[in-house]
């Protein structure tokens, strides 16, 4: 078997008990050579994540509110981990450096990144692996954008010097100034993927607290089936609709190098989890891989006689959205009508301006706004091979009396997206799941 990169999330590194589990997992396979870690997360309901505490320390400091006690709570969490596992590491010296930086007004990105830094520092000592800092390896440009190729080269060169290493997730540094920069929340998943690409891993194992993805939300479907295998493309469609255990951007580096991602459960390591691969037929003979949905969309319907003959009409609509910095999700069209489907949060405080601009600049015959719309995505590469799949979806929801407001099939035929009224949300998901669970 080839080399594996393992990323352990916050709950997997929350305390000494969890770390003992990850040691067992890592030691069970000598190919698990590169380990990427998050900062300690919640140990129980109501507990705080180290990352949140560090954000708070900085906010309190900036507002001249005493923050020493809060920072001490962070120190205590790391000390408890060190002592519970007898880890030999000079934690006090590291904590002193960080405390001093905080007192002297370090940046938010720096202080928050120390959660992952200390986590990796201790875990490296615990596993007997090298500690490799991502400062100077995960690189950002002046505008804070990740420099994927430069990062790949830098990680590749550094990791070639380490046979076994623990690497902190979530941060890197500005390529010019060397200042610490954070990825977005949950970004350790991205670091894991970057490392997997750089070392040309055979598998990127992403260890978390669930045994992979489920075919539907368990709050809606009782005991939905697990997804054993799924393609990157299908996963993108599902996670776009909110059904993800993985950071949105984590797929890209692994996908660029065609490295499968395996979502695994640290607490139930014998579960095979979900494997995400480039193989569009990953789901075998299944028609549907999963169903996901999102609430709170607004639809703006625009009617205009002879719209189909008016060159540049859609461009005008899109320009108005662009001027208002609004991202739209779908744009179904008829002959003389067009609708834009937008997440309601995007329109906050802007709806009136947008409608006014549509009225003035499009010379439309009518404009209607409908809110309380939900989107449900039925995803499955198997639909490409099975004519009649959409008909089955539509008749399943028609049987439940659901009023379909919009339907959109992706060009690749791997998803059918339905726009429905929000009160029908659960009913729609249940009807489709039932239809394909035969």
Binding site for ligand ASP (CB under 6 A): 9-10, 38-39, 49, 51, 115, 169-170, 185-188
185 versus 315: smaller Cβ distance to ligand ASP? 185
Find the shortest distance in angstroms from Cβ 191 to ligand ASP.
Answer: 8
State the burial class of residue 390 (Cβ atoms within 10 Å of its Cβ: 0-12, 13-18, 19+).
Answer: middle
Distance set, CA 435 to CA 141, 216, 271, 391 (Å):
49, 13, 27, 11
Considering the complex, what minimum distance in angstroms separates the CB of residue 140 from ligand ASP? 16
Q: How far is the CB of 210 from ligand ASP (least distance, A)?
A: 15
Instruction: Specify the pairing of strand 203-208 against strand 165-168.
Output: unpaired
Q: How far is the CB of 183 from ligand ASP (least distance, A)?
A: 7
In 113-269, beta strands by DSSP E: 130-131, 139-140, 165-168, 171-174, 180-182, 203-208, 229-231, 261-265
CB of 346 to ligand ASP, least distance (A): 23
**Which residue, among 243, 297, 292, has the nearest Cα to 406 in the 3D structure?**
297
User: Edge-to-edge strand order for the sheet containing 404-409?
Assistant: 337-343, 290-303, 366-379, 415-421, 404-409
Give the CA count within 13 Å in the CB-facing half-sphere of 226. Answer: 15
Considering the complex, state which of residue 109 and residue 435 has its C-beta at the smaller distance from ligand ASP.
Answer: 109
Nearest to 274 by CA among 310, 315, 244: 244
Residue 209 or 353: the one with the smaller Cβ distance to ligand ASP is 209
Q: State the virtual CA torsion across 209, 211, 213, 216 in degrees, nearest 10.
A: -100
Structure tokens at 123: 């875990």
User: 9 or 419: whose CB is closer to ligand ASP?
Assistant: 9
For ligand ASP, the closer of residues 12 and 374 by Cβ is: 12
Least Cβ distance, residue 192 to ligand ASP (angstroms): 9
Q: How buried is 422 (Cβ within 10 angstroms: 0-12 exposed, 13-18 middle, 19+ buried)?
A: middle
Please give the C-alpha separations between residue 274 and each of 34, 180, 388, in angstroms, as whole numbers.
Answer: 20, 33, 27
Rounded to an integer, what distance in angstroms lies between the CA atom of residue 98 and that of residue 229? 43
Nearer to ligand ASP, 49 or 286 (CB): 49
Q: Which is nearer to ligand ASP, 100 or 185 (CB)?
A: 185
CB of 15 to ligand ASP, least distance (A): 15
Give the count of alpha carbons within 13 A of 389, CB side only. 22
Min. distance of Cβ 127 from ligand ASP in angstroms? 19
**Least distance in angstroms from the C-beta of 422 to ligand ASP:** 29
CA angle 169, 175, 179 (to 5 degrees): 70
Nearer to ligand ASP, 119 or 277 (CB): 119
Nearer to ligand ASP, 37 or 417 (CB): 37
Quote the CA–CA distance of 216 and 292 in Å, as a whole number.
6
Is residue 217 a contact partner of residue 428, using CB atoms and an 8 Å limit?
no
CB of 189 to ligand ASP, least distance (A): 6
CA distances from 402 to 242, 405, 407, 431, 436 (A): 22, 9, 13, 10, 18
Q: Distance (Å, rounded) from C-alpha 64 to C-alpha 364?
A: 54
Nearer Cβ to ligand ASP (186/260): 186
Q: Are 38 and 113 in contact (CB under 8 A)?
A: no
Rounded least distance, CB 181 to ligand ASP, Å: 13
Smaller CB distance to ligand ASP: residue 191 or 289?
A: 191
């Amino acid at each position: 078997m080839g080399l594996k990169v393992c990323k352990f999330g916050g709950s997997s590194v929350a305390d000494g008990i969890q770390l003992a589990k990850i040691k067992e997992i890592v030691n069970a396979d000598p190919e698990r050579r590169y380990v990427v870690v998050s900062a300690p997360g919640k140990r129980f309901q109501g507990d705080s994540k180290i990352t949140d505490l560090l954000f708070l320390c900085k906010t309190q400091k900036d507002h001249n509110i005493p923050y020493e006690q809060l920072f001490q709570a962070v120190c205590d969490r790391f000390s408890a981990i060190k002592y519970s596992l007898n880890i030999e590491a000079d934690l006090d010296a590291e904590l002193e450096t960080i405390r001093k930086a905080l007192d002297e007004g370090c940046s938010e990105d720096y202080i928050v990144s120390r959660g992952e830094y200390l986590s990796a520092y201790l875990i490296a000592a615990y596993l007997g692996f090298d500690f490799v800092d991502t400062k100077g390896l995960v690189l950002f440009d002046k505008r804070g954008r990740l420099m994927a190729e430069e990062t790949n080269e830098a990680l590749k060169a550094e990791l070639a010097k380490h046979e076994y290493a623990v690497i902190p997730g979530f941060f890197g540094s500005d390529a010019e100034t060397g200042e610490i920069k954070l990825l977005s929340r949950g970004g350790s998943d991205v670091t894991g993927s970057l490392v997997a690409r750089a070392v040309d891993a055979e598998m990127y194992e992403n260890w978390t607290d669930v045994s992979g993805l489920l075919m539907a939300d368990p709050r809606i479907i009782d005991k939905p089936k697990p997804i054993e295998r799924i393609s990157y493309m299908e996963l993108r469609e599902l996670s776009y609709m909110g059904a993800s255990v993985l950071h949105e951007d984590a797929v890209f580096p692994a996908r660029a190098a065609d490295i499968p991602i395996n979502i695994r459960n640290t607490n139930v390591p014998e579960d095979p989890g979900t494997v995400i691969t480039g193989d569009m037929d990953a789901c075998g003979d299944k028609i549907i891989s999963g169903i996901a949905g999102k609430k709170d969309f607004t639809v703006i319907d625009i009617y205009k006689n002879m719209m189909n003959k008016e060159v540049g009409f859609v461009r005008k609509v899109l320009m108005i959205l662009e001027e208002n910095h609004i991202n739209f999700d779908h744009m179904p069209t008829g002959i003389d009508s067009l609708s834009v489907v937008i997440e309601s949060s995007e329109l906050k405080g802007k709806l009136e301006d947008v409608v006014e601009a549509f009225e003035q600049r499009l010379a439309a015959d009518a404009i209607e706004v409908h809110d309380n719309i939900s989107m449900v995505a039925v995803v499955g590469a198997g639909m490409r091979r099975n004519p009649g799949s959409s008909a089955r979806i539509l008749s399943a929801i028609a049987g439940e009396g659901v009023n379909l407001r919009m339907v959109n099939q992706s060009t690749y035929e791997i998803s059918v997206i339905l726009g429905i009224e929000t009160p029908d949300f659960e009913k729609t998901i249940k009807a489709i799941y039932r239809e394909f669970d035969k």
